[in-house]
Structure 1
Amino acid sequence: MRFTWLIITIVSAILLIGNYFLSTADRMEGWDQNIQLSGSDSDSISFEIIDSILQTSIRDAVIPGAVVLVNRDGKTIYERAFGYAQLYAFGKKPLTAPELMTSQHRFDLASLTKVFATTFGIMLLYEQHKIDLELPAYRYLPEFRSQSKDSITIRHLLTHTAGLHPWRPIYYHAKTPAESRRYITHLPLKYPVGAGRHYSDLGFMLLGYIIEELSGVSIDSFLSENLYQPLSLEYTSFNPDPNGPPFAATSHGNPFEKKMVFEDDFGYDCDEDPTSFTGWRNYVLKGEVNDGNAYYAHQGEAGHAGLFSTAQELKILLDLLLNQGQYRGKRILSDKTIKAFIKKDRFGHGLGWAMSPDAIPVKNLPAGSFGHTGFTGTFVVGIPKYHLSVIILTNRQNLDVNSDGTYNSLTGLRMAVTETILDLVARQ
C-alpha cells in the first residue's frame, strides 16, 4: 500500500509539473471500459495507476481520448481505450452524442510515419542491397545534386543532420508530389551539412522520394507489399479505406499551420505571402491526414506524414524490431540491419528513431530504447532490455488549439505512463 501511494504521489507531481491540470470548465466525463489485463495483484495496482493517469487527463481536458497498449514478450499485458474518439464538431461545438474511443480506432500517426513507414522502407532497401547509407543522396535523386548538397548522405537524411529547413509550407509552391519534389530538391540549405541535428520534415520527404525512385512504386505500395501484407496488417496505410474500423478525429482544419504561416512571431520564419494560399480546410479531420504538406502537396502520401494505423498493428511492427527482425517465425529483416539502425550516433539518436532523453523524456529509460512522437498526439517506445513496448495514441487535436495557438503538451502524460510501467517491470 505504501508503494502504491508513493507512485500516485510521483505521478501527480509529474502531471502538475507538465502543466496538465487545466481549467475545469472543459472537463469531460466517461471513458470506455474496454480493458485487457494479465499478471499478479501487484501488476493490477500499477495498471490502476495508469487508468487514473488517463482518466485525470481526460477529466482535465488535456486530451479527449486515448488508446494505451503495453506489450511484453510478444503478449499484450494491458490494452485500454479511454474517453472519446470525437468530442467536438468544427469550431469546438460539443457533439450531442460524442463518439466513444475503442481499441480498434485508427489514428493519424503524424510523424510516426517517419519510422513506421519511411525508416522501415529504407531498412528494407538496405537489406536488399539497393541503398548505401554512406552514399550521397543525389545518387538516388539526381536533381538533388548541387555544390552545397553533394556531401549529403542517406545517413544525414535519416539522422536529421543534412542541414535542411525543418519545415516549409510546400503547398504554397506545389500542388502535386512531382511539383513538391522539384521544389524541395532545389531549396537551399539552412544549416551546414553534418554540423548539428535539426529535425526536418523535408529530409523525410526526400527519403520518401528515394524509396519510390528505387522501388518504382509509391511508398504505400512498396511498404504494403514488403512489410504490411507479410505481417497481415490490414489497417496500416496511407489514404486509408473509409470502410473499416472507425477513425479518431484530429484537428479543426489546420489552425496551427495557418498560424505558422500568418504570424511571424510564431517561430517559423515563413516569407510566403500568407494570403496566396486559400485552400485551408474548414472541417474536423477524420480519416484524412492532418499534416498540410502531406495533404495539400502530396495527396496524403509522403515520407514525413500520412500513415494511419491502430495500436494493435503498431505493436506488431515494434515486436518485429524487438525480436531481431522476426514476427511469429516470419523473418522480414536481419538482426544486423536492425542493429545498424537502432544504434546511437554522436547526437544520441538512431537512424530515423529517437533514442536521446531529449526526445524520449522518460527517467531511467534503459540503454538501447528507441521511440518517436507524432504531432497529432501519438507516441511509442520500444525497450529491448525488457522486450517491452508502450504505445500511447491520443487525439489531442480534437480539443482544438489553446488561446496561444498551440495544442496541449503531452510530455507529462507520456512520462507518467511509461515510468509507471517501467517501475512495474523492473520490480518483477
Structure 2
Amino acid sequence: MADIQGSYDDLFTAVPSALAALLDEGDVGGSVAVFVDGEPVVDVWGGYVDAGRTVPWGRDTIVNVWSVTKTMTALCALVLADRGELDLEAPVARYWPEFAAAGKDGVLVRHLLAHTAGLPDWEGPVDELYDWPSATARLAGQAPQWEPGSAAGYHSVTQGFLVGEVVRRITGRSVGQYFAEEVAGPLAADFHIGLSAEHDHRVAPTVPPPSRDEDYSASAARSDANASTGTAIRVRDGNSVAWRRAQIPAASGFGNARSVALAQSVMACGGAVRGVRLLSQGGCDRAWVEQFSGEDRILGMPVRYGLGYGLFGSTYGWGGWGGSLVMIEPEARMAVAYVTNQMREPAEDQRGLEIVMSAYDGLKGLRS
C-alpha cells in the first residue's frame, strides 16, 4: 500500500485509505484534507511530485487545482457583497461600463457567478490569457450567445476574468491581490491566484491521463455534442511559467488540499474560521440560493448553480479539470478537499466522489 504522510483523526481512517488506494491504482500524487468546525480532522498526502516518481509529495507541495479556483474567486465576490460594496443584482456595467457593449447591458453580476451570462467560450489565443487588460477587453466586446439569465453554459475560463474585473473595478486591486489580502492572508491559507517565483520549487506539474501527452486539452472534458468552439487549453499551457504567473481566476489557482479546505471552511462555518470572520451567515446562505437548474449547454448535463458554486443536494462545491475537488457541507460544518497532479479521463474519474464519501464515513462516527 502507498505510503501516506500527515495526520488524521482515528474516526476518519477511511480517508487516508482512499488516497492510498488511488495511488496504488497508479496516480502520481495528491493530498486530502477534511476540516470540521474550521479545524483539520484529516490532513494527508502521498505519492510523488513528478511523473518520473523521483521527488516525494511533501507537506507543502502545491498544484494547479484548475476550476476549484472558481470557488476562491466566488468567495472574493461574496465578501464584497456582504460588505455592501457589490450588488449582485446590479448590471455588470454599473461597475465596468465598457461591458455594456454588444447587447450585454442586461447582464447582472449574479449571471457571471451562475454561468448564465452567455459568454462561455474563450475565443482568443492562449497567450492573451496572460494579459489581463487584453483578456477583459476581449470579453467586454463580445456578444452573448444567449439571452443572459435564460440559460446556463459553463464559463470554464471566462468566468474568472468576468468576476475578477468587477472585483478590480470596485477595489482597485486584482482579484489575486484581493484574495491574498482579504481571504488567504487573514486565514493563513496557502492558496495563490497568480503564483510568484518563490513558490515554483513546490509545484507538482500536472500529469496527463495515461496514454495522453501534454497536448491533451480541456476540450476533451466536454461532451462531443456540446463541443466548445473556443480555444482549447492544453496541459502544457497549465504547466508553463506564464500560466503560473498570470491571474486566470477560473483556472490557475495553486494550493494544496489543506489550503483549499481551510479557505472554503469559511463557507462551511457560517462565515468565520479560527476567530476570523469574512462573511455573515446571511452572506454564506446567499451563495446557496439556486440561480439555475437544468441542462448546461456546454457540459451537456443537468446542473444546479448557486452563486459561484455547484449545488448538489445539501452540499455545495466544485471540481477542477484533472480531478481536484472541494465539497462543502454547512449542516456538518465540514469542508472536504482533494487535489492531485494526476489527470484521468473525465468520464472515468470518480476519485473526488470516493474521497468525499470516505469523509462522510468519518462524519458518522463524529456525530454518534
Same fold (TM over 0.5): yes
The residue type paired with residue 276 of structure 2 is K
- Compared CA separation, residues 245 and 335, structure 1 to 2 (3 A): farther
Q: CA deviation at 1:382?
A: 1.0
**Native 8 Å contact 1:378 1:394 kept in 2:** yes
Q: TM-score, normalised by structure 2?
A: 0.83
Q: Confirm or deny that 1:285 pairs with 2:239.
A: yes
Q: Confirm or deny that 1:216 pairs with 2:162.
A: no
- Compared CA separation, residues 226 and 35, structure 1 to 2 (3 A): closer
Query: Which segments of 5 or more consecutive residues in structure 2 lack a partner in the other structure?
Result: 294-303
Cα separation, 2, equivalents of 1:175 and 1:35: 35
Q: Confirm or deny that 1:70 pairs with 2:70.
A: no
Cα separation, 2, equivalents of 1:69 and 1:256: 28
Q: CA deviation at 1:266?
A: 9.6
RMSD: 3.1
Query: Which segments of 5 or more consecutive residues in structure 1 lack a partner in the other structure?
Result: 1-29, 88-94, 357-364, 398-405
1:267 is matched with which residue?
227
Within a 5 Å distance, the mapping from 1:21-420 to structure 2 comes to 31-39=2-10, 43=11, 47=13, 49-61=14-26, 63-87=27-51, 95=52, 98-116=54-72, 118-146=73-101, 148-171=103-126, 176-200=131-155, 201-243=157-199, 246-251=202-207, 255-257=215-217, 267-270=227-230, 285=239, 288=241, 300-347=246-293, 348-356=304-312, 367=314, 369-397=315-343, 407=345, 409=347, 411-420=349-358
- Compared CA separation, residues 131 and 110, structure 1 to 2 (3 A): same
1:426 is matched with which residue?
364
Q: TM-score, normalised by structure 1?
A: 0.72
Q: CA deviation at 1:222?
A: 1.7
Q: CA deviation at 1:31?
A: 3.4
**Native 8 Å contact 2:161 2:249 kept in 1:** yes
Identity of aligned residues (%): 20
Q: SS at 1:56's partner residue?
A: helix
Cα separation, 2, equivalents of 1:330 and 1:281: 36
Cα separation, 1, equivalents of 2:183 and 2:363: 30
Q: CA deviation at 1:237?
A: 4.1
Please list the CA deviations of residues 143-192 of structure 1 after superposition, one character each: whole Å capped at 9, or x if unmatched: 11136211110011110111223443443767622122221111222222
Q: SS at 2:202's partner residue?
A: coil
Cα separation, 2, equivalents of 1:349 and 1:280: 26
Q: CA deviation at 1:340?
A: 1.1
Q: SS at 1:86's partner residue?
A: coil
- Compared CA separation, residues 37 and 203, structure 1 to 2 (3 A): closer
Larger Rg, first or second structure (1 or 2): 1
Aligned residues: 348
1:14 is matched with which residue?
none
The residue type paired with residue 267 of structure 1 is A
- Compared CA separation, residues 212 and 110, structure 1 to 2 (3 A): same
The residue type paired with residue 33 of structure 2 is L
Q: SS at 1:102's partner residue?
A: coil
- Compared CA separation, residues 156 and 265, structure 1 to 2 (3 A): closer
**Native 8 Å contact 1:236 1:310 kept in 2:** no
**Native 8 Å contact 1:173 1:183 kept in 2:** no
Please list the CA deviations of residues 54-80 of structure 1 after superposition, one character each: whole Å capped at 9, or x if unmatched: 33332333x211111122233322222
